[in-house]
Amino acid sequence: MQRKHLALIVHGARAGRDDLRHLVSWVRGRGHLVEVLPTWESGDGSWLAASAADRGADAVVAVGGDGTLNEVVNGLDGRDTPMGVIPLGTANDFARQVGIPRDPDHAMDVVLQRAPVRMDTASLNGRRFVNVSSGGIGAETTAETPADAKASLGSLAYAITGLRKVATLTPYRARFRADELDLDAEFLVFAVGNARTTGAGTLLAPHASVTDGYLDATIIESIPRREFAQMMMKVKRGHHVATPGVHYARVRSLVIESDTPVSVNVDGENLQLRRLEYRVRPGDLWVHAKHLPGEAPKAGHFE
């Protein structure tokens, strides 16, 4: 096997985990050069990833949750260095969609054994992201789920917070503008991205692709509380697209404007924005993946 230079961008709170120490020793024992680069403050992951790529790393590996992943993605902006992922977060939607196991050793196998593939990304107000950006009730749920609940309950913590939100549904109003869409409406949820799932597996964009050069946009208009739970069951399975009150479009760009701040989540970061400009960025990220979203895993096994 060819010797590789790997840079691991590790969330500082997870840098001392025994399984990661074992992982680093195991990879070094196979003859690879491994740099362990912990993050301590917001933004560290981006400049550490950029620096590692500029030093000639064969892969920059995001070791952590959605926030670490997003920082590495932005650090690699404009560079062809492939990204690997070792998912240690709660939802890990992107890692799940590209077949990356939760076990760190098995996730590293993907980096060592699978050739990188080129994928689309997206940007929100100029900042790159890789999965799905959501707004409205879903983003509020993500922002309001306590960290200790996520640590103890995993993705179930989001479901519990979501149930509480149903009792106090408050719609937003916004204008959605794209070549394929022109809508001014009250809404409860929207999602924009080039991957299919968010919120630990919810199929908000069931037809999305990371290789088609488009973003998929889903907008769920305001509906009575008694119907919302039924709608969310459809969304979970990806059966909502043809439902009245749901707008689904493939776009290259989308502008959303609201007179009041809208709660927005992008790769784990929670924002309050009045104007959102989404754009697709075709084929501008190399990723070590087991398979593309929506594809069956490829045959074969790891050494």
Mean pLDDT of 148-161: 59
Which tens digit of pLDDT belongs to each residue from 257-285?
A: 999 999 999 987 889 999 999 999 999 99
CA distance 46 to 74: 6
Per-domain residue ranges of the chain: 5-114, 127-283
Does the domain at 127-283 match CATH 1.10.3720.10? Answer given as no
Which tens digit of pLDDT belongs to each residue from 227-256?
A: 887 888 888 788 888 889 999 999 999 999
Token digits of residue 184: 């001014």
Instruction: Return the H-helix or E-strand segment holding 267.
Output: none
- Asked if the model's pLDDT at residue 112 lies above 80, the reply is yes
Instruction: Return the H-helix or E-strand segment holding 43.
Output: none
What percent of the chain has a predicted confidence (pLDDT) above 90? Answer: 61
Mean pLDDT of the chain: 87
What is the predicted pLDDT for the residue at 300? 43
Does residue 108 contact residue 6 with C-beta atoms inside 8 Å?
no
What is the predicted pLDDT for the residue at 143? 59
What is the predicted pLDDT for the residue at 297? 54
What is the predicted pLDDT for the residue at 155? 56
**Catalytic site residues?**
269
Reported as a pLDDT band with limits 50, 70 and 90, residue 109 is very high
The architecture that CATH gives domain 5-114 is 3-Layer(aba) Sandwich (3.40)
For 207-242, give one letter per residue: b (16+ CB within 10 A) or e: ebbbeeebbbbbbbbbbeeeebeebbebbbeeebbe
- Asked if the model's pLDDT at residue 160 lies above 60, the reply is no
